[in-house]
Amino acid sequence: MGEEGLSINPSSPILGTGCVAQVYSCTYHGTPCAVKVLHPSVSSSVHLDLDLLTAIAKTVERVGTWAGFEWWALPDAVNEFSVAMKKQMDLRNEARNLDVFNRDFHGCDYVRFPKVLKAGKRVLIETLEEGESIKKSFKKDVEERRRLAVPLITVFLRMVFVHNLIHCDLHPGNILVSKDGTLTILDAGIAASLGEEDRSNLRDLFGAVVMNRGREAGLMIVDRARVEKCKDREAFAKEIEGIVNRFHDLRKSGLTLGGVKIGALLGEVLSACRRHGVMLEPKMANVVLSTIVLEGVGRTMDPDLNLFEAAMPFLTMRK
């Protein structure tokens, strides 16, 4: 690839492959490492796909006004997705994300991230991280799974509420577990930061839900919505209150991941917003999606993990 000091053994197995790039094991100036290389012509293919998605979103919004599709904000959501995908066409963006994650979690003994050795637009060289996929831990004994669940959830909460750079691709394939139980998080190509207002809104909303203040959460959503044509604020707040109440009815099991499906809760809230004409900020989509994906991993690792106990330190800290 023309990179001085980089040597790839053609017989070495591919470490990972995706729609954007492949990862190979190699040596860089004699040190074992991993190199990520963009697929040939991937940029033109992605741009073509994104143009098609944009056209479809605009058409659906235009002809689907009668069905309330405008409140889905499809063009804005597609635009947000497009920005994230286009950033992946330049691996220097991922390198910057990795540098920030390494700085944010410096000194943390339960998680690490690959360190960047050299970065270019199409090639990223990083440290080779040891460990097995967290998927293999799904088959281990209960205590071993529980030991991994708490740090995994804590890492995500720190990303959201402390550091404000959120890894938005936290599926099991991007999480390794070393022999000593340390988590390693890979593939930082998709990451999101929220503006101060959105971040404050998320903290307040999350806190209202956890503290069982459903009506307050409903009014907060309306008052802080990007656009709203809600004809009955109280009716909307009452519906959100009902959703939150059902959520807290499950507190008999301790608000655990096994007893509470966050994805279903978020889905109900989004449906209520659409019905009442309340448009949420599309930038929240990446955070919501990451929460849903991580919820599935967390539930598999430890269904008894208490969300209330895990989240409270982050909700009560000074803003």
| Active centre residues (catalytic) | 169
Measured distance CA(120)–CA(101) in Å, rounded: 19
- Pairing between β-strand 111-112 and β-strand 31-38 as defined by DSSP bridges: unpaired
| Tokens 């990007």 -> residue | 226
CA dihedral 154, 158, 160, 165 (to 10 degrees): -120
Q: Are 23 and 128 in contact (CB under 8 A)?
A: no
Residue 36, helix vs strand vs coil: strand
Measured distance CA(36)–CA(15) in Å, rounded: 9
Q: Are 286 and 84 in contact (CB under 8 A)?
A: yes
| Tokens 């199409």 -> residue | 122
Using alpha carbons only, give the angle 150, 152, 155 rounded to the nearest 5 degrees: 105
Measured distance CA(195)–CA(193) in Å, rounded: 7
- Pairing between β-strand 227-228 and β-strand 278-279 as defined by DSSP bridges: antiparallel
**Backbone φ/ψ region at 25: left (φ over 0), alpha (ψ -120 to 50), beta:** beta
Q: Which two tokens mark 263?
A: 């994805």
**11: CB partners within 8 A, 6+ apart:** none
Of 225, 159, 221, 169, nearest to 193 by C-alpha is 159
